[in-house]
Amino acid sequence: DVKVTQSSRYLVKRTGEKVFLECVQDMDHENMFWYRQDPGLGLRLIYFSYDVKMKEKGDIPEGYSVSREKKERFSLILESASTNQTSMYLCASRQDRNTEAFFGQGTRLTVV
Amino acid sequence: RKEVEQDPGPFNVPEGATVAFNCTYSNSASQSFFWYRQDCRKEPKLLMSVYSSGNEDGRFTAQLNRASQYISLLIRDSKLSDSATYLCVVNMRDGSARQLTFGSGTQLTVLP
């Protein structure tokens, strides 16, 4: 059974903290994604990675960075958390453009 | 105009009813199409891929109309457990696995 696992289900952080969200997939997929999902705005792409150490900015990269040192792991970093980054964060992976994406269980981040 | 548009609903239907959702997309060269289901506060999960010839999986039927640029999802004999948000997902054609575009979702509630 395919699996994408995010390190935390719920997180509460303080404004200004550096936050790491980890994602691991066991399907040997080349492509990995970080999205955030907010009510009324749907899923928005933050960053995309198509290979180890390769990344592309998505639609809303400001305030975020990513790291992909190993194929199976894709990390999202909030350099200095702010209250407007309170959201549901979803990691996904996908083999290629013709196949479906598999999602992790999501991390609900609250920045106070 | 949004790249992928869905009627947000909500659709409230009685158990046993048949309900249909449509989704329109703007890029005529789009290649891959999917329906995802998302339960409240959970991650999206693939319901079915949508093929040119149409496809059926039990009570669920998906259709693609390339000429009019829409896909549809039909649910027959609705169950309480079908209550969820249904996301239309389209892969735009640019040679990249990155270009997954999500609709904002259609909320379905099946009533007893």
User: Measured between CA atoms, how close is B42 to chain A, in angstroms?
Assistant: 6
Asked if the model's pLDDT at residue A112 lies above 90, the reply is yes
Are the beta carbons of B74 and B18 closer than 8 angstroms? yes
Q: Say what the pLDDT of residue B94 is.
A: 66
Pick A61 or B98 by higher pLDDT: A61
Cβ distance B45 to A30 less than 8 Å, yes or no, reads no
Confidence category of residue B44, pLDDT binned at 50, 70, 90: very high
Chain B residues whose CB is inside 8 A of the A31 CB are 97-98
User: Measured between CA atoms, how close is B62 to chain A, in angstroms?
Assistant: 15
Cβ distance A100 to B105 less than 8 Å, yes or no, reads no
* Mean pLDDT (whole number) for A12-38: 96
Chain B residues whose CB is inside 8 A of the A95 CB are 97
Nearest to B102 among A42, A95, A104 (CB): A42
Average per-residue pLDDT for chain B: 91
The span from the CA of B5 to the CA of B87, in Å, is 10
Work out how many CB contacts closer than 8 A connect A with B. 57
Chain B residues whose CB is inside 8 A of the A96 CB are 97
User: Measured between CA atoms, how close is B5 to chain A, in angstroms?
Assistant: 11
Q: Say what the pLDDT of residue B95 is.
A: 60
Window A:62-101, CB contacts with B under 8 Å? 88, 90, 94-101
pLDDT tens string A47-58 = 999 999 999 999
Q: What is the DSSP string of B43-92?
A: -EEEEEEE-TT-EEETTEEEEEETTTTEEEEEE-S--GGG-EEEEEEEE-
Cβ distance B31 to A98 less than 8 Å, yes or no, reads yes
| List of long-range contacts for B47-53, beta carbons under 8 Å, 24+ apart | B47/B73, B47/B86, B49/A100
Asked if the model's pLDDT at residue B21 lies above 90, the reply is yes
Confidence category of residue B7, pLDDT binned at 50, 70, 90: confident
Count the Cβ atoms, other than its own, within 10 Å of residue A94: 25
For A106, which residue in chain B has the nearest alpha carbon? B43
| CA angle centred on A57, ends B95 and B37, rounded to 5° | 70
Peptide bond into A61 cis (omega under 30): no
Are the beta carbons of A69 and A82 closer than 8 angstroms? no
Chain B residues whose CB is inside 8 A of the A103 CB are 43-45
Q: Say what the pLDDT of residue B28 is.
A: 82
pLDDT tens string A68-102 = 999 999 999 999 999 999 999 999 999 988 889 99
Letter string b/e over residues B17-30, b meaning 16 or more CB atoms within 10 A of that residue's CB: eebebbbbbebeeb
For tokens 């099946």, what's the residue?
B110
Chain B residues whose CB is inside 8 A of the A48 CB are 98
Are the beta carbons of A2 and A92 closer than 8 angstroms? no
Are the beta carbons of A79 and A25 closer than 8 angstroms? no
